[in-house]
Amino acid sequence: MKPDVFRQELAKIGIDLSDEQINQFKIYYELLVEWNQKINLTAITELEEVYLKHFYDSITLATTLDLGKESYSLCDVGAGAGFPSIPIKIVYPNLEISIVDSLNKRIKFLTLLCDELNLENVNLYHDRAETFGQNKAHRESYDFVTARAVARLNVLSELCIPLVKKNGQFLALKAAKSEEEVQESKKAIATLGGKLADEIEISLPFSEDKRYIVVIDKKKETPNKYPRKPGTPNKKPLI
């Protein structure tokens, strides 16, 4: 997907990019490729693949939400090279974005990226999700929390749901649909104060690639014991 096609395909789903936004994505791509030679940010570096599988893919999350009307807060857990939160921020500059990542090298890249893109109201935190979720300054304070990670849903839920404010949402982006994974996570989701609300299937243009967005509503406060100590959610997932 070349940049002009990227713009056309987004227009088809109601997202019209300005010339400035198109330029921001151009700079994003150039910095991503440059920094990827220094630190491992992504295995995908070819221009058309990045625009499709990183930029467009990230923005599909926004199509499930009405982000243009209010200044919502969104926290991206384990964002890596900034996906999905930075592409969404470019499209919806009114959003307040917070990114937490455990690798300081990635935070340094994101700091430079946000400066180069002139993005405001982006907060970057070098921290483990488990300790970040126990921080009173962040716990249960975000309208939306996202994760585009390979961890199973019950693990992601423990890392992310504690950060969602009551009546907010946790949105997990998955590359493959797994009814077994969703079923095994239902008890964990309920324990953490959430409720499975929806599973949305999205097809990427020009490919057979499917994406799945698992939407979890925050119905009540998360018990204080969650998230557990760093490493524990992965070693002993809630079931």
Output b/e per residue, 8-46; b: 16+ Cβ within 10 A. Answer: ebbeeeebebeeebeebbeebbebbeebbeeeebbeeee
Any known ligand binding at 80?
Answer: no
**25 among annotated binding-site residues:** no
Q: Is 128 annotated as a binding residue?
A: no
Is residue 148 annotated as involved in ligand binding? yes
Q: What is the DSSP string of 22-77?
A: HHHHHHHHHHHHHHHTTS---S--SHHHHIIIIIIHHHHGGGGS--SSS--EEEEE
- Measure the CA–CA gap between 95 and 223, rounded to whole angstroms: 28
Distance CA 91, CA 234 (A): 33
Q: Is 78 annotated as a binding residue?
A: yes
Annotated binding site: 78, 83, 129-130, 148
Annotated binding site for S-adenosyl-L-methionine: 78, 83, 129-130, 148
